[in-house]
Amino acid sequence: MSNENLYELAQSLVIDTPEGIEMYRMLAVKSALGLEVRTGMKMSRGVNVFQQGKAILESYGIKPKGTKQGVFEQLEDLMVLE
């Protein structure tokens, strides 16, 4: 294997377990929600990351707070626990 191929191999990431996929989804929602909280900008149109964040928290048995900032902080805490 050449050094170029080895470098490309080191740059790729495959998430193929249900737990890994869920963690990646949680990270993506947390990042998008953080963008909305910090800047007021939205990641994309038609996607409500606040609702997605609340749904993730509810799936873990956590009662979501009523604000974007609160849900963002709860997602951060949840990811530390995971």
pLDDT per residue as tens digits for the range 45-80: 888 999 999 999 999 999 999 999 999 999 999 988
**pLDDT band per the 50, 70, 90 thresholds, residue 9:** low
Alpha carbons 75 and 81: distance in angstroms, whole number = 10
10 Å CB burial of residue 82 (0-12, 13-18, 19+) is exposed
Domain limits, the chain: 17-81
Model confidence at 7, pLDDT cuts 50, 70, 90, reads: low
Residue 35 to residue 42: CA distance in whole angstroms: 7
pLDDT at 1 over 60: no
Q: How many Å apart are CA 69 and CA 52, to the nearest integer? A: 14
Per the prediction, the chain carries an average pLDDT of 86
